[in-house]
Amino acid sequence: MPTNKAHGRIWIWLSFLLALVLQAVPWPGELEPFRPSWVVLVTCYWVLALPHRVNVGTALVVGLLWDLTLGSTLGVRGLMLSVIAYIIALNFRVLRNLSLWQQAIVIALLSLAAKLIEFWAEYLVSNISFYPQQFFAVLLNFILWPWLFLLLRRIRRKFAIR
C-alpha cells in the first residue's frame, strides 16, 4: 500500500513540474497577456480532487518553486497559491457538485483573485505598474479549465491516485 501512495505523489508532483515548465516557457510579446496560469489551474484541480493530500502547504511549496523558477520576489506566488488553495479546500464539497462550466466560472474568478493578490504583493515589495491586459489570461483559464480538469481526472483515475 505505501508504494501506491508514493506512486500517486510522484504523479501529482510531475504534474506540478510540468505546469512550472509550461509557466516558464517564453511566449511572443504580443501573446504574453494571454498566457494561462498553468500552476494555478493544476493546483486548483489537485486541491479540488484531493484536498486531504494537496492543500495549503503544498500550494505554498509550489508557489515558492514558481517564484524561484521565475526569479521573482520570493513568497509572492506562494502567498497567492496558498490563499486560492485555502478557498478551494474550504469549499471543495460545493465546488465538486457544480457542473464543469460552473466550475470554470469559479476557477476564472479565483484566477482573477490570484492575479490581484499577485499584483498587490508585488506592489508592496517593489514599484510595478498595473496593466489591464494581464487579465486576458483569466479568459483563457476559463476556456482551458474543462479540458485540463478532464485530462487530470483521467490521469488520476488511470493511475489510481488517492
Spatial CA neighbour of 115 closest among 89, 149, 150, 141:
141
Residue 90 within any structural domain of the chain: yes
pLDDT at 1: 47
The model scores a pTM over 0.85:
yes
Identify whether the C-beta of residue 92 lies closer than 8 Å to the C-beta of residue 134: no
Q: Which domain holds residue 46?
A: 5-55+83-159
Instruction: Determine, yes or no, domain membership for 68.
Output: no
Residue 112, in any domain of the structure: yes
Other residues' Cβ atoms within 10 Å of the Cβ of residue 72: 15
Give residue 132's pLDDT. 87
The C-alpha cell 462550466 sits at 101
- The set of cell numbers assigned to 106 is 469559479
What mean pLDDT value characterizes the chain?
A: 94
pLDDT in tens, 39-79: 999 999 999 999 999 999 999 999 999 999 999 999 999 99
Question: Considering Cα of 142, then 57, then 152, then 72, what sign does the dihedral take?
Answer: positive
Is 131 inside a domain boundary?
A: yes
Residue 135 belongs to some domain of the structure? yes
